[in-house]
Amino acid sequence: MKVDVYAVWLAIGWIPYLTVDRSVDRLFWLNRDFREGVREALGLEDSTLGAYEARAIVQLRQPIPLGWAEAVRVRLQAEWARREKDRSIEAVQRELRETVQSVTRIYEGKAATVDMEAEIVTPAPQVASAERYRAEGRALALRVARLPQQLAGRALLLGEAAAMLAAPDAAALLRELQLAALLGAARPGSLRSRVD
């Protein structure tokens, strides 16, 4: 399984993450209306998701194997915890590329063959379709609420999990699992054992 690795710039600093569906992460971090829909659907306090307002995301253009991505995330998290919180977007791009190169040398014995370009994504101006994003956030969050109980203790293939959870397809299930991971209801590392 391949995943995207990225860093999100929050008020508390840069935090590395993994994603199986970058569109969910971009909506979650960069779209206030989507987060508001999630908050409404889950009955969270008004301020609960306010801390998730991102200034920017720096993301590799190409997904990498899950094991590599987790190693990159862990290394960046440890490194950034020891150093200053304020770093430029350019420094984060460079550190992300260098860490992927370092990790792939360990796994492959040579430099990465993946596209090492990291793109920068910033919040777009809020548009008139705010209700559409709220509705999308609500709908996805309502489906996410059932995941922990239904997947607990199971080892399933992705197609089996999608069928069991009545997801329209595997891609829809991955969107749900990704939002669950962002909300802390699922760990990205646990996706391997649950839906390989």
- For residue 72, the model assigns a pLDDT of 94
User: Reduced to 3 states, what is the DSSP secondary structure of residue 155?
Assistant: coil
Going by DSSP bridges, is the β-strand pair 64-65/56-60 parallel, antiparallel, or unpaired? unpaired
Q: Each residue's pLDDT tens digit in the chain (196 positions)?
A: 889 999 999 888 899 999 989 999 999 999 989 999 999 998 887 666 767 789 999 998 889 988 999 999 999 999 998 876 678 999 999 999 899 988 988 877 766 666 667 778 888 776 668 889 999 999 999 888 777 666 666 665 566 665 665 666 667 777 888 888 888 755 444 333 333 3
- For residue 176, the model assigns a pLDDT of 80
Q: How many residues in total does the chain contain?
A: 196
Q: Which residue has the tokens 């915890």?
A: 81
The end-to-end CA distance of the chain, in Å, is 8
Q: What share of the chain is helix, strand, coil (3-state, %, to 5)?
A: 55, 15, 30
- For residue 135, the model assigns a pLDDT of 94
Closest CA to 140 of 182, 187, 189: 182
**HSE-up of residue 36 (Cα within 13 Å, Cβ side):** 10
Query: What number of other Cβ atoms are within 10 A of residue 68's Cβ?
Result: 22
User: Reduced to 3 states, what is the DSSP secondary structure of residue 95?
Assistant: helix
How is 74-90 classified by DSSP, letter by letter? Answer: HHHHHHHHHS-S---HH
Spell out a b/e string for 134-162, using b for 16 or more CB atoms within 10 Å of the CB, else e. Answer: bbbbbebbebbeebeeebeeeebebeebb
CB 121 within 8 A of CB 57: yes
- For residue 27, the model assigns a pLDDT of 92
- For residue 189, the model assigns a pLDDT of 41
